Each structure stands twice: as C-alpha cells, then as structure tokens.
Structure 1
Amino acid sequence: MYEPYPVPELAREHKKFRYSSLWTFAKQDLRLLAFFLLIAACVGFGTGYLWSCLLLAFAVFFALQLRSLFLVNEWISNRPYDVPPNLDGIWGALLFNVYRAQRQERIVQAEMVGLIDRAQSSLVALAEAVVLIDEMHQIEWWNPAAEKLLGIQSLDRGRNILTILRQPGFIEYFNHIDQAPDGLKMKSSAFEDHYVQIKMTRFGGESRLLVAYDVTRMHNLEQMRKDFVDNISHELRTPLTVLSGYIETFTDQEDLNPRWKRAFDQMQAQTKRMNALVNDLLLLSRLENDKKVAKNQIVEMPGLMNQLFDDAQAYNVDYGHTLNLDIDSHCDLIGSDIELASAFSNLITNAIKYTPKGGTITIGWHDDHDHGYFTVEDTGIGIDPRHLPRLTERFYRVDSARSRQTGGTGLGLAIVKHVLMQHNAYLEIESHENRGSVFKVVFPKDRLFKADET
C-alpha cells in the first residue's frame, strides 16, 4: 500500500505566504539595485571613481541574483518537498508559486492514492472475482476471489488470460464480447462440477475488466427445473392422450344425454388446453436444450409469410377480423424455418385472440438494409405499459380470467423470446390500452439474405 507524501502547512512553514502581484516582488529587487547604485554613487563622487563604483554595485547585485539562482536550483534538485529557502524579490515569488503548486499536487496525489487504496480494498473484499487484463491480453491484477473461482495463481501475473482459461466458449466470448451482452456461463477451471458466470467490459482501448461469480446453485436449480418440466410433460402426454380419446368417443355418441354432453364438451375443451400446455412446455424445453443446433437454413420469407397468412385466415373464421399482409422486403432470413414459423404464429394468434371481433390485424415483413422487421399490428384491447417488461416471462398473464377464456397457456411469448434469442433477434412491443398493439421482431443484418448476393 502506498504512503502519501507528507503535506506541510504552508501558512505556518513559509513566511512568504501571501498573494501579491509579480510587480510587488520585482519592486524589491529594483529597490535593492537602487540602494546599491546610490551607495556606489556616493562613494564614487567621494573617491573620484564613479563608474568603477557603479560597475561594482551592478556586480554585487548580479552576484546576489546568482546566489538566489543557486539556492533555487539546489532546492528543486535536492529538496523539492521541503520548505523552500526564504528569498526576496522575483526568486522568492518563483519559489512561492512552485511550492504552492507542488503542495496542491501532493494533496491531490494523496487523495488519489487514498481513493485507489480504498478501491483495491473493496475489490479484495468482494466475493466476485475481478481481473484486470491489459491490451496485450495479459493479466495485470486480480483479487483473491479470482484465485478461488478461476484458478489464477501468483505466477500468472503477466500471462495471457487465454492460456489460463482455455475453454473454447471463453475464447469465443473473449474475441466477441459485443455479441454476448449477458456474458458467459461456463464450468469452473478450479472446481469440478462448479459453474461461473463471466462478464467482461472494455475500457481504455482494448483493456478489459473481467468479473466472475459462482452460479453453481443457480445452475443446479435451473437444471432441476428443466428436468422436472421435461419429465412431467412427457409423463402427462400418455394419460392426456387416453383421456382425450375416451372423451371424444363418448362425445360422438348420438344418444348421449344433453347434460352429459355438456360435461363431456367441457372436459374435452380442458383436455385440449392441457395438451396445448404440455406441447408448449415440451417445445420450450427443446428450445432450451437445442441452443447449439445450427440455425443456418435460408428461410424464404414470401413463402413463409403467405403460409402464416393462410393459417391466420383459417384461425380467424370465428373472429371475423380483417387480415392484411404487407411485404415490402426482398430479403430472406437465415435461421430455423420451424422455430421462426412457431414464433411468428404465436404472435399472430395472440393478436387474433385478444382483438375484439371485427378488428384489423396487419402482418408485415420489412427491412431497412441494416435490420429486418417482422411485425404484427392489431386494433385490440391493448396492454397497460407496466406489464410490458414481464410479458415474455413464463406463465405471466395480464389478465388470468381473459387468458382462461381464450385458452392461452401463458408460454407463447416465452417461446417467442427463446426462438428470437437463438436467432440474435429481439422483440419490441408498443401498446396502448383500448387502441391496439404492435409487436415487432428485429433481426440483425447478418441474419438477412438476398438472392442476388450469391
């Protein structure tokens, strides 16, 4: 830890502590020169050697100035942090200003050193690992937590971080930080069966600040949740299929009592709803587990848009909306046609379900050369803005009663979110209550494909 320089009290240790103009100090030298010349003139007139005495006076004055210069140089060279010599005239003013500037600089330096020491102490106390990496990708500094979580040792100072954390996922993340704004989760290189979340930030050009923390417990809980959802969904499919089959058999009987028919119709509707929920859970589970599956198909957007439009018209029979299709882009998409169709279809069916009968729904595909946009615009009931940040959460519902009436599972937008994340896209939502909503899917430029590019 650095010790700050001692900061003396200038007012107590320097007798010349006053704010005066340079002319005030220069007048002291001029008065001294005038005094020497006056004495020399008197002696010269008395002895008959006027010019010689005047030259001697100038020489004495010049010698005093050289002495002052010598003292100034000796102080600056050997004792810059001591109180300066007590000089008069311009040299005194120079020393005073230099000393005052040095004192202010030492005060600022002491404050900065103290601030740095406090910052380092707080970083050392953190449970999260912190690593400073320079422009050459070499490790400059790390806190004790980095030794526990990342396995960095005292001999690693100055080593390239990529020779210590050699996992392919980390190397990819290190070289493309901007493409992973949420950071990277990977296995710990120091502890088996442990996971760390790593986030890096650039600063000062190509230097990097790496922060990592243990997410093993969170990872295990998430894995337990995924396994539970996956297993329970598979286990539910068989009994639901059996129930649905028997209910459909009873419902088709012509001599069925109307009271029983109403009960079987309700059971059939709820069974379909449960089937839809199980299918959505299985789809969501598959999307989470297949993140590394290549999404490099060329999806012909005009054909997909027309297929979605035809499906929407079939779904719209009971609602009577006016459906419009607006395509003004010649770009196709690079991705998974099945997953994209599922995400787009979810947005379209949501718009149809939550728009009062006789509304207008417009499905669009556009681009501005930098991004591609799939849009669904409706004149529906709209959404309160306070609900918008949570719409893509699983099972989040703005109105539970309304969702039950429409048969929603609460997973549609969660599926959309996962599909878009795997295609480097994101969802923008603009909505006003009783005026309608606009759902816009934004794709980056590298996901757009033009046939003339080949």
Structure 2
Amino acid sequence: MTGVAAFVTFKLSEASSRAAEPPAAGPALPDGIAEVLTALPSSAVVLDNADRVLRASSAARAFGLVRGDRLVISELLAMARQVRRDGVIRETEIDVALRKFGPDSTTFAVRVAPLGSTGLVLVLAEDQTERRRVEAVRRDFVANVSHELKTPVGALSLLAETVEGASDDPEAVRRFAGRMQHEATRLTSVIQDLITLSRIQGAEPMAEPALVEVDSVIAEALDANQLVADAKDIELVSGGEPDVVVLGDERLLVTAVRNLVANAVAYSPDGTRVVVAVETSDGLASITVTDQGIGIPPGDLERIFERFYRVDAARSRSTGGTGLGLAIVKHVATHHRGEVAVWSQEGAGSTFTLKVPLPDPKERDSSGITTTLREASQ
C-alpha cells in the first residue's frame, strides 16, 4: 500500500502544480486523479482543507467509511487533521465496528498522507480482517501441532529413560516397550494426518475425477476399523443402495469414510452398532455413518470439523485420536465439490453424511462399470 500511496501522492502533486488557482470554497480534485482512485482496490478518500470528501472510492463507501461528503470514522479524521497540520505521513492499524458487516470489527491498515501544499489529504484504508484471521488460525495451528507432537515425544523420552533403568526386569521392559509402541503409533498417526490434510487443504477441486464404486470404498473403510470394533464388541454394518458409483478420488474417499467410521467406533459404547449406508438423490450420493454413541452437545456441532477440535479431548487421546480426522473429512468433501453434515443427539448417537457428485449416466455406462456390476450380480 505504500507504493500506491506514493504514486497517488506524486500524481496529485504533479497535477496540482499545473492546476489553476482553486476557488475560495476549497481546492478541487486535480484532473486524472479520479481515475487513479477508482482503480485502487483499497478504500481511498481525498479530503479537502475543510475535511470534506472530494473523492471516495467505491470500496470506501461500501465499507461505510464515508457518508455523503463526510469521513465518519473519527480515528481516520483525527489522523487526517494531524497530517494536514504537520505534513508527516502516518500509518497504523485500526479496528472499526461496522454494523453492516456484522457484530465483529473490521481491521484496516491505514496510511494517511498530505497531497502537495493545497491542504488535500489522502486516506488509504485496506481491509486486513481476513489476513488477521488467517494469521490467528496459523498461530493456533502451530500451537496445536506443537502440543500434539510434544506429548508423545515427551512420553517416549520418559519411557526410554524408564526402560533403561529397568534393564534387569524383563517384565517391566516389556510393559514399557508396549507403551512406547503406543506413543510411537500415536505420533505416526498425527504426522500421517497432517500430511493428508496439507495435501488436500489447498488443492483445487478435481479437474478430472475418476469413477469410484462406493461399495468398495465402504468395504475398505469397514475393514480398516474391524479390529478396533471387535475389541469393543461393536457390530459394523453396511447397507443402502447397491452398485452406486461416484466421481472422485477413491483413496481420499476411503480415508474420509474410514475416519467417520473410526470416529463412530471411538465414541460408541461397547456392544452397540455402527451402520454405513448409501443412497442417491438430486445427482448426489449420500454416504451416512450412524452410531449409537454418546452424541455431540449442540454447542460443539459447528466446531467439530475444525482442526484439532475435540468434544472430549481426554477420550479422544485415550482412543488414539489426533483431532484431525473430521477436518480431513471436510476437506475431502470440498475437494469433491461435495459437503459433509452431521446430526446428533446427546445420549442417542450421531449421523454423519458425506455427499459427493454422481457421474452422468452416459459417462458411467461408457466406462464399463455398469456392465461389470450387472454381470457380478447375476
């Protein structure tokens, strides 16, 4: 924004040096500057020596910084007057409460500069709200990653010291070695989930998705969770429409459904059932994972797809959860131009629904998948 301000200042000074004497009412905006201000992406306002707005960009008016011929943000007006008095360029960041943009404030990076010796002042304000939000998310992410990695690494270090001190006790060594293996597995899970999330988070939706058999996706996802489910006497059941084919990335879809099933098993009591089903409507395949678990409090429903967010952190860690599984599901859905939704009732269970596009019927028939499925069912 500094370069923009310098350019505009130069153009205004150059134009004002060629301009005729302004009328008594105050200096007019020099020729050519209106076009420059119109092209600026940031909010731009030019004030005359009586604090009247000579020119305001559409962004400045859209944000509500200007009403009529007045700059209505008191902090900006005070800066403009200071700059007019001493001719010193000022820069700062301010938070402005703008009702039209919701209850939260908007953060602006502001630069105020004098324009020649005519008393004109240029105010540039660039919306930094999204940048701040991204920085906050990045800080939280780094803090969460550090914590998630520090915990198993610290446990491994402590266990290694304990094993070293118990070298003459084979039973203790075996016990601590098992705990070390558990922590190493947890550390590997965090790293693998981070790699998966980073790979799909910034990726564009697939330009050329492949045809994927949903039955195969569900079968692989259930198989990956069978041992854990057996240990809790949880029955894994699949059902719904057979022979459904979707457009997508089979590996990512397996990851998403596997994560949903793993989440259902982790938060379900022993001896219950987890059902995975698929149905089609409105050009979408809906893969649902329903459990009879503890349910999710209403206040947590909107946040469960955030990275590292856990409804029950202690339980998640005890089951080996990384806090990234549902975030991965959300990004897989986005990557497929689909969506993921959740219904839950405390004490009754939850249903997660992953929706992905169906292929055009002609495309499906031409692939040979339909024919293969028909033959297999005969």
Distance in 2 between residues matched to 1:368 and 1:317, nearest whole Å:
33
1:275–1:316 Cα change, 3 Å: same
**Residue in structure 1 matching 2:234, options 302, 309, 321:** 321
1:402 matched to 2:315: yes
Of 111, 124, 131 in structure 2, the residue corresponding to residue 217 of structure 1 is 131
User: How far apart are residue 310 of structure 1 and its match?
Assistant: 2.5
Q: CA deviation at 1:226?
A: 10
SS in 2 for 1:392: coil
- Give the C-alpha shift of residue 272 in structure 1: 1.7
Q: Output one character per residue of 1:219-273: Cα deviation in whole Å (capped at 9) or x when no partner.
A: 87379669969x989xx79x97xx79x97xx79x997533343333223222221
More moved, 322-331 vs 402-411: 322-331
What is the one-letter code of the residue matched to 2:325? Answer: G
Indicate yes or no: 2:334 matched with 1:421: yes
Which residue matches 2:189? 276
Q: 1:307 to 1:404 in 2, by over 3 A?
A: closer
Query: In the alignment, does 2:216 pair up with 1:309?
Result: no
Matched, 1:336 2:259: no
CA distance in 2, matches of 1:411, 1:425: 19
Q: Distance in 2 between matches of 1:348 and 1:257?
A: 38
SS in 1 for 2:252: helix
Distance 1:331 1:348 in 2: 19
Mapped to 1, the partners of 2:219 and 2:319 lie a distance apart of 25
Query: 1:389 maps to what in 2?
Result: 302
Sort the Cα spacing of 1:398 and 1:227 in 2 relative to 1 into closer, same or farther, 3 A.
Answer: closer
Unaligned 5+ segments in structure 2 are 1-37, 45-54, 63-125, 368-378
Residue deviations 1:269-294, cap 9 Å, x none? 22221221122112111112333654
Query: What is the correspondence of 1:173-252 to structure 2 with a 5 Å cutoff?
Result: 213-214=127-128, 217-218=131-132, 221=135
1:361 maps to a residue whose letter is V
C-alpha distance in 2 between matches for 1:348 and 1:448? 29
TM-score in terms of structure 2 length: 0.55
Q: Whose radius of gyration is greater, 1 or 2? A: 1
Q: Deviations over 1:42-66 (max 9, x none)?
A: xxxxxxxxxxxxxxxxxxxxxxxxx
1:371 counterpart letter in structure 2: L
Q: What is the CA–CA distance in structure 1 between the aligned matches of 2:362 and 2:216, rounded to whole Å?
A: 14
User: Which one-letter code corresponds to 2:319 in the other structure?
Assistant: T
Q: Secondary structure at the match of 2:204?
A: coil
Return the alpha-carbon distance in structure 2 between the equivalents of residues 256 and 448 of structure 1.
Answer: 66
Bigger strand share: 2
TM-score, length-normalised on structure 1?
Answer: 0.46
Amino acid at match of 2:316: S
Q: Secondary structure at the match of 1:324?
A: strand
- In the other structure, the counterpart of 1:346 is 259
1:144 to 57, 75, 89: 57
* Aligned counterparts of 2:242 and 2:43: Cα–Cα separation in 1: 47
* Number of aligned residue pairs: 247
Aligned-partner Cα distance in 1 for 2:321–2:365:
42
Gapped runs of 5+ residues in structure 1?
1-123, 131-141, 150-211
Partner SS for 2:270: coil
CA spacing shift, 1:275–1:310, aligned 2, 3 Å: closer
SS at match of 1:390: coil
Which residue, out of 275, 289, 313, partners 1:376?
289
Residues 220 and 254 of structure 2 are in contact (CA less than 8 Å); yes or no, is this contact kept in structure 1? Answer: no
Q: CA RMSD in A?
A: 4.2
Tell me, yes or no, if structure 1 residue 358 matches structure 2 residue 271: yes
Higher helix share: 1
